[in-house]
Amino acid sequence: MSDQEFMRALGYANAAFDLLKRSGIPPYPQFYELLYTYATGVNPTLNNRINTIFRNGAAPSQDLVETLYNEFLKSDVNDRMSSVSERMHARIEAVHDAIDAAMTTANAYSGSLQSATGDLEHELSPEMIRQLAGRLLAETRRMQDTNSELERQLESSRDDIAALQRDLDDVRRESMLDPLTKIANRKSLDEGLAEAIREAAETGAPLSLMLVDIDHFKTFNDTYGHQTGDQVLRLVAMTLKSNIKGKDLAARYGGEEFVAVLPSTDMEGAVIVAENVRKAIQAKELLKRSTNEKLGRITASFGVARFHPTDNAMSLIERADRCLYAAKHAGRNRVVSESELVELGGGGSSASAA
């Protein structure tokens, strides 16, 4: 973790503990997690709820904080996975029951055929033959009915399993997306970056990483409100995603920071992508949706690093973070690559001025 990221995380932690202390709420892990999440601003609905409480002159009580935690942070992904698992288990049990019934009927039918074979070895009267034929016909119809039920169960199971697979895919997709910006979240970033590093190390193909930080976001957020701030975050996320392609991955890193993982892209290509994103963000004029008030334009700073054979995810991110820090201190609204660090004197890193 770079000094800049450490200081940012420490600031969130201090803000969370301050809220716990001021509200007289015990610093249990789940309550700390809730207010730490509030401090980062990554869950806009949660922030709006807590901001409303503060605006009304109240402080969140322990009971209210527990309610908010259960509503916003107690993940329903596991519950949904459990539901899918239960449905899958029920469907498999139904198929097993149908197969068992079919096997029982088949065994009985086989026994009837063997018995009939034995009977036919003896001389039978016409009446006995008629009774034997009637018994075999009834057994055959029972066998047909059982097979039809098995076919119905298998057909139904095929449709149910396809629906369950879709549900599992939906749960997985939701668990990998940032709820506000609808681009990859930190979990998805960690997995995607690890895979990109593994592939680059094995093939020798280039890999670049781009860090993006919205300039003066806190001031903008405080001035125009969190809803407008959320609009800015969505705009930057959309702009970043629309300017990458193929196997590239756009993710929200935390707060007002974003990351783009750029496989098969060398430093020169990554800088071009970063410049395109920077110009696209700067070109967009913001409107406050509630009033159509023109809020001007926003800018962002960029740090670009390339993968080295000795890199892991942390070292690559730290180097991009130093580049981002250099871009901030070189005037913001610019792209700095690691090859420029020496020229700009940005070899170190400390807390960033947003």
Rounded to a whole number of angstroms, the CA Rg of the chain reads 32
Point out the catalytic residue in the list 139, 256, 318, 340. 256
C-alpha distances out from residue 132 to 36, 90, 112, 128, 137, Å: 80, 40, 10, 6, 9
If DSSP codes are grouped into helix, strand and coil, which group holds residue 121? coil
For 104-125, b/e burial (b = at least 16 CB within 10 A) is ebeeebeebeeeeeeeeeeeee
CB 280 within 8 A of CB 336: no
Paired residues of 294 in beta bridges: 287
The C-alpha angle with vertex 340 and arms to 218 and 216, in degrees rounded to 5, equals: 10
For 84-89, the CB contacts below 8 A with 24+ separation are 84/164, 84/167, 84/168, 84/171, 87/160, 87/164, 88/161, 88/164
Paired residues of 302 in beta bridges: 212, 335
Nearest CA to 352 out of 216, 258, 201 is that of 216
Q: Where are the alpha helices (DSSP H) in the chain?
A: 3-23, 29-40, 44-55, 62-72, 77-120, 126-175, 186-203, 217-224, 226-242, 267-283, 313-329, 341-344
If DSSP codes are grouped into helix, strand and coil, which group holds residue 88? helix
CB 168 within 8 A of CB 287: no
33 is catalytic: no
Q: What is the distance of C-alpha 24 from the center of its chain?
A: 34
Residues taking part in catalysis? 256
